């Protein structure tokens, strides 16, 4: 069985404060055969978008990958989930609460968080659901544009058991053109149950 390929973590990436959990997750990934291909950018702030998202397993493998790397990638989750007992487990691994009833919308909440932190990597599934969709949600583009942070595409491919890091993208004022350009990068990759249209 081939070893898991994990690229080196650049100096500016936000780090987890643990050695044990990355070691354990790397072992699980090694046994599973999943690999991460490409180079991580040396930037303190960015948005990671992963697709195609067609299974709960995408989140499981992605979570194992980020912990295995020892990188602190934040993932949005409903505040109510973190207020309960699960919060004790989920907060330390990068889940951040979203207040959907707040006057400040989700885009505004994330832009504010980026402004308050020196380092922050945020993971988003642009499809917004595991079902096939005709249109991706544009929230990641609005956050990237307003916060002034780049976008890192991550291509999920179940046949090869790989997550592949794409080239950094920048959001412009033309969200429609940005969406078409970025979405086209995901063609040819196959999720657990489907590809990206």
What are 134-169's pLDDT values in tens digits? 678 889 999 999 999 999 999 999 999 999 999 999
Q: Is residue 44 part of a domain?
A: yes
Q: How far apart are CA 178 and CA 174, in angstroms?
A: 6
CB count in 10 Å sphere of residue 101 = 5
3-state secondary structure of 122: strand
Q: Is residue 78 part of a domain?
A: yes
Q: Is residue 88 part of a domain?
A: yes
- The range of the structural domain enclosing residue 134 comes to 20-184
| This prediction's pTM | 0.87
Q: Residue 163 sits in a domain of what CATH number? A: 3.40.50
pLDDT tens-digit readout, 113-129: 999 999 999 998 887 55
CB count in 10 Å sphere of residue 167 = 12
What is the total count of domains within the chain? 1
Q: Is residue 85 part of a domain?
A: yes
Q: Is residue 7 part of a domain?
A: no
């Amino acid at each position: 069985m081939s070893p898991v390929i994990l690229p080196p973590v650049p100096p500016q990436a936000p780090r987890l404060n643990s050695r044990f959990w990355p070691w354990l997750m790397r072992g699980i990934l090694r046994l599973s055969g999943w690999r991460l291909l490409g180079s991580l950018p040396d930037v303190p702030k960015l948005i990671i978008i992963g697709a195609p998202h067609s299974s709960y397993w995408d989140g499981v493998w992605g979570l194992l990958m980020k912990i295995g790397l020892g990188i602190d990638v934040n993932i949005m989750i409903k505040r109510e989930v973190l207020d309960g007992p699960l919060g004790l487990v989920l907060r330390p691994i990068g889940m951040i609460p979203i207040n959907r009833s707040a006057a400040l919308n989700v885009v505004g909440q994330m832009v504010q968080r980026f402004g308050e932190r020196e380092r922050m990597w945020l993971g988003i599934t642009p499809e917004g659901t595991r079902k096939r969709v005709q249109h991706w949600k544009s929230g990641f583009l609005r956050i990237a544009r307003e916060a002034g942070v780049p976008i890192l595409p991550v291509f999920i491919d179940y046949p090869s058991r790989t997550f592949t890091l794409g080239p950094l993208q920048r959001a412009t004022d033309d969200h429609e053109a940005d969406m078409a350009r970025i979405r086209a990068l995901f063609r040819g990759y196959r999720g657990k149950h489907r590809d990206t249209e």
